[in-house]
């Protein structure tokens, strides 16, 4: 999962909810797509605990969480209008729906990878030891971006290495072979790779905070016509965060339920949570949404994405897609804004929905 791609995939796997068309206009039923990843699992708990139902009913609407088995497929379904919103990284929100023409608003900044992604070597002690090697990774994904940033910080370039596209499910077995000496991967595979004999993690995402950012994306048209959807989503997320942050029996239960939903153990999930920075406070999330740093890191992401052709063949410059920030500033084409950071609902959650 968390892999960048531009080509739309067949619309399958959405289940019963996929029969509905998530178009704009005033309505009361909404479909939100998600897939299994540490930062997304609180939504699973929210549904199982009744919080999704509670906040939906508060605003007289019905929010349905639609689990899609493949991460990129969930974003493709959203891009094609089969879903009203989707959980994804900002990089993938930019390179798939925004690049595909669907105007998208980021309404909740959920978390960032704080060590969930890393670069691991055999027979090496630093990033500079990667020079001339072939790196196994999911090409055009956040792993590819992570590698580029690792090299940049070491005074190197992507041209100093070769890459080979490797599915995330195959990463552990690939690293176990003698010929593979460098990988860029994410959890849970990364956690296992770190344990292999001779493995040394030389770079991880904690060194680039907020650059691999997981967010709730909603169709701007749908949101403008139905602001109660944004309120309900904010209510669900921040009440869930409050439960998880308690550190008591209720949070232990929530984490155990999240682990079951992810098909892992509570201990494994706890380890992954330790390398995930959750924006548990609505006020903190809203403040970050309005910070200069968000624009800085988003610019890095868009520069990488364009360099890899992820804006599509028609994009002639990095400014082809407009990205709007709460300050009113825009990166890229102001006449083609397709990704917007909207702190409205985070602010409402901070002051009382």
CATH code of the domain covering residue 241: 3.40.190.10
pLDDT value at residue 6:
38
| Residue 7 belongs to some domain of the structure | no
Query: Are 181 and 295 part of one and the same domain?
Result: no
The pLDDT averaged over each successive group of 10 residues in the chain (353 residues) is 41 36 84 94 98 98 95 94 97 96 98 96 98 96 96 97 93 97 94 94 98 98 98 98 94 96 91 95 98 98 96 95 96 98 98 87
Residues 121 and 243 in one domain: no
pLDDT at 40: 96
Last residue of a domain, one of 178, 207, 236: 207
SS3 content of the chain, % helix, strand, coil (to 5): 45, 20, 35
Residue 168 maps to a domain: yes
Q: What is the pLDDT of residue 7?
A: 36
Residues 57-83: b if buried by 16+ CB within 10 A, e if exposed? eebebebbbbbbeebbbbbbbbbbbbb
Residues 282 and 151 in one domain: no
Q: Which of 207, 227, 243 is the last residue of a domain?
A: 207
| pLDDT in the model for residue 4 | 46
pLDDT for residue 14: 31
- Do 91 and 132 reside in the same domain of the chain? no
Same-domain pairing of 177 and 313: no
For residue 16, say if its preceding peptide bond is cis, omega within 30 degrees of 0: no
In this prediction the pTM is: 0.89
Supply the pLDDT for residue 306.
97
Separation of alpha carbons 316 and 40, rounded Å: 34
Q: Where does a domain end: 174, 192, 207?
A: 207
Q: Are residues 192 and 218 in the same domain?
A: no
Residue 10 domain-assigned? no
Give the total number of structural domains in the chain. 2
Are residue 281 and residue 333 in the same domain, yes or no? yes
User: Which three-class secondary structure state does DSSP give residue 67?
Assistant: strand
232 and 192 in a common domain: no
282 and 329 together in one domain? yes
Domain co-membership, 201 together with 230: no
Residue 4 covered by a domain: no
- The range of the structural domain enclosing residue 104 comes to 15-112+211-351
Mark whether 194 and 233 lie in a shared domain: no
Does 8 reside within a domain? Answer: no
Asked if the structure places residue 5 within a domain, the reply is no
For 270-335, where are the E strands, in sequence order? Answer: 276-278, 322-324, 330-331
Question: Looking at residue 241, what is its pLDDT?
Answer: 97
Identify whether the C-beta of residue 190 lies closer than 8 Å to the C-beta of residue 75. Answer: no
**Residues in a beta bridge with 135:** 163
Helix (H) or strand (E) holding 151: helix 142-153
Query: Residue 15: what pLDDT?
Result: 35
Same domain assignment for residues 229 and 296:
yes
């Amino acid at each position: 999962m968390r892999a960048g791609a531009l080509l739309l995939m067949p619309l399958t796997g959405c289940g019963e909810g996929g029969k509905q068309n998530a178009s704009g206009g005033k309505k009361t039923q909404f479909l939100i797509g998600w897939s299994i990843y540490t930062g997304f699992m609180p939504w699973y708990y929210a549904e199982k605990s009744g919080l999704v139902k509670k906040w939906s009913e508060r605003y007289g609407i019905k929010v349905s969480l639609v689990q899609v088995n493949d991460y990129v497929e969930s974003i493709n379904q959203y891009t094609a209008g089969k879903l009203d919103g989707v959980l994804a990284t900002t990089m993938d929100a930019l390179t798939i729906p925004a690049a595909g023409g669907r105007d998208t608003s980021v309404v909740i900044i959920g978390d960032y990878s704080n060590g969930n992604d890393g670069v691991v070597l055999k027979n090496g002690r630093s990033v500079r030891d990667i020079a001339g090697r072939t790196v196994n990774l999911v090409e055009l994904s956040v792993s590819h971006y992570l590698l580029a940033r690792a090299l940049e910080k070491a005074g190197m370039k992507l041209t100093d290495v070769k890459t080979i596209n490797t599915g995330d499910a195959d990463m552990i077995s690939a690293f176990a072979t003698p010929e593979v000496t460098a990988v860029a991967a994410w959890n849970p595979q990364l956690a296992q790779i770190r344990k292999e004999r001779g493995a040394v993690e030389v770079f991880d995402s904690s060194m680039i905070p907020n650059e691999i950012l997981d967010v709730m994306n909603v169709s701007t048209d749908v949101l403008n016509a139905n602001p109660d959807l944004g309120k309900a989503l904010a209510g669900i997320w921040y009440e869930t965060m409050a439960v998880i942050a308690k550190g008591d029996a209720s949070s232990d239960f929530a984490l155990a339920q999240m682990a079951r939903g992810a098909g892992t153990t509570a201990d494994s999930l706890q380890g992954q949570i330790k390398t995930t920075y959750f924006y548990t406070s609505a006020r903190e999330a809203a403040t970050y949404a309005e910070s200069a740093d968000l624009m800085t890191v988003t610019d890095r992401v868009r520069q990488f994405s364009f360099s890899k052709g992820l804006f599509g063949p028609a994009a002639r410059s990095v400014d082809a897609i407009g990205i709007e920030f709460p300050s009113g500033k825009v990166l890229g084409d102001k006449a083609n804004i397709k990704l917007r950071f909207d702190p409205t609902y985070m602010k409402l959650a901070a002051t009382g929905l």
